[in-house]
A and B are shown apart, each in its own frame.
Chain A
């Protein structure tokens, strides 16, 4: 039950190679983040995970992406919609129904499910994302955070074992980001769900993700747990990427006082620094 990417290279029609010889093996149940500068290929990689690349986008492709044994070049995108759910940055381009319930129903209707089963799955998805009270509201009346949760719910209702999110927090204000975080927290508790998320917000990544895949101009250049990745502050900066502030603090303190700190999360930083100052 995995996602296997083997030597994947992809170029959009009349474009340069957007992905170059990428190989990656996603572990079932893991939370994997994809980082990279604008244009590094994060979105392209996300779309390659359900066959949109190359089937809807054309272009040239080499190598393979296999989802649970099915090759994305050989089966329709609709087939993969049951395996991989994708949520995009811009809810505008995904939400179009009359109300929340209808929105979540859309994917299920496409799969031709019987009504009773649809209703069950809708209720389950709404509850999971905590938007049950919004059932009859129009998406235009929802806040940014609520819209993203709706987008996630409408995709999870199809019970894919993999959820892919392409920079979901990009257009959210701080409240919205908080709501998204909480939703991710709940999802982590849901057994069996593998989450792949393209993201810039390092503090978000540090909080929830098991591994980070870093793309640089289409190539996979790092694949590590956030603790190790963010400890290399200068390395990340060289790639044009940031790190959580506490990681910068650790690097700064290590430089100034010769300490050997490695910090990626806030709570951890608080604890460790308190120890340091107490032991003085």
Chain B
């Protein structure tokens, strides 16, 4: 069995090393925050609430010292969706008064609000997820999930998968080059023909992944992975500080408050007015 090397690519971690209040927060608290944030976002339909949430989450990122270029990268990636949502709503679900008119095109106030709300919600959710990913390295995150009773094997699978994504993507380039050197060219741009043309690149990629997985599995076992009857320990064990408990208490209180307002007083359930 031959095990051949390829050049190792950069680790795919979204994690940005640094020290900030969010970096230091226990991953379990961050996971809870994320879960509650997603839940709350789905409960609220109001544009102004979403706008406030948007500013808040960006503030969280800045206070966690996330570099501007990363934030801009996410914003740019989300731009198509952000523009698309209002357009979809304006075209397919016109509602409310017309606030602007260009000949045939009528801009309905409520549709615009809903569309923008949806767009902002997607943005806030993305930023909330990345608030976790930017400030938590993979190992710590996995440990957090494991301490919350997720089986370690799942965590390892996930972190290995993440870690090998750039390798897999990188192998595409190497393989494509090797095949180009034998005359590979992409002529047809579409559909099944294109897939057939890409076989010389796809097949080695897939075979390569299988080979690597097999080698990896053997290497893991050889280092004691899956030892029966052993309680696995962690070098950098995470521990809840008083600050973490305080943080959790804070977000629980805020969440409960917002839920109460939403359910009892219909706060934020209407796209345009806060208290319908």
Contact = CB atoms under 8 A, between A and B. Distances in A.
- Which of A44, A106, A109, A171 is packed against the most chain B CB atoms within 10 Å? A109
A81 B224 contact: yes
Interface stretch (B49-57, B82-90, B227-235, B253-261): B227-235
Interface of B: 1-6, 8-11, 13, 137-139, 159-160, 163-164, 167, 212, 215-219, 221-228, 230-237
Contact of B235 (A115, A140, A154, A166): A115
A91 B226 contact: no
Given A82-B224, A94-B219, 17 more contacts: A43-B2, A56-B217, A76-B227, A76-B228, A77-B221, A81-B222, A90-B5, A91-B5, A92-B5, A92-B8, A93-B3, A102-B236, A105-B235, A111-B227, A111-B230, A112-B231, A140-B9
Contacts of B160: 96
B140 to A, nearest CB: 9
A102 B236 CA distance: 9
Given A90-B215, A118-B233, A78 B138 contact: no
User: Secondary structure at chain B's binding surface: helix, strand, loop or mixed?
Assistant: loop
A98 B232 contact: no
A79 interface: yes
When A and B form their complex, which 3 residue pairs have the shortest distance between CB atoms, in order from nearest? Answer: A78-B227, A93-B215, A81-B224
Contacts of B233: 108-109, 112-115, 118
Given A56-B217, A90-B5, A93-B215, A140 B11 contact: yes
Contacts of A112: 227, 230-233
Interface residues of A, number: 54
A106 B218 CA distance: 14
A86 B1 CA distance: 15
B56 to A, nearest CB: 30
A247 interface: no
A108 B227 CA distance: 11
A171 B4 CA distance: 7
16 contacts: A43-B1, A56-B217, A56-B218, A76-B226, A77-B221, A81-B223, A89-B5, A93-B212, A93-B216, A96-B159, A97-B139, A106-B223, A107-B224, A109-B233, A119-B235, A140-B11
Contacts of A105: 235
Contacts of A166: 3
A81 B235 contact: no
A96 B160 CA distance: 7
A125 interface: no
Contacts, number: 134
A136 to B, nearest CB: 10
Interface in A135-193: 138-140, 144, 147, 154-155, 158, 166, 170-171
A226 B222 CA distance: 29
Contacts of A170: 4-5
B134 to A, nearest CB: 15
Contacts of A96: 159-160, 163-164, 216
A131 interface: no
A216 interface: no
Contacts of A50: 222
Contacts of A82: 224
A85 interface: yes
B223 to A, nearest CB: 4
A109 B101 CA distance: 66
Given A43-B1, A110-B230, A85 B222 contact: yes
Given A81-B224, A89-B5, A102 B218 contact: no
Interface in A224-238: none
A261 interface: no
- Which of B1, B139, B159, B227 is packed against the most chain A CB atoms within 10 Å? B1
A67 to B, nearest CB: 13
A70 interface: no
A228 B155 CA distance: 52
Contact of B221 (A56, A97, A106, A138): A56
Contacts of A119: 235
A98 B138 contact: yes
Nearest to A82: B224
B261 to A, nearest CB: 42
A31 interface: no
A67 B235 CA distance: 29
A10 interface: no
Interface in A215-269: none
B9 A90 contact: no
B6 A158 contact: no
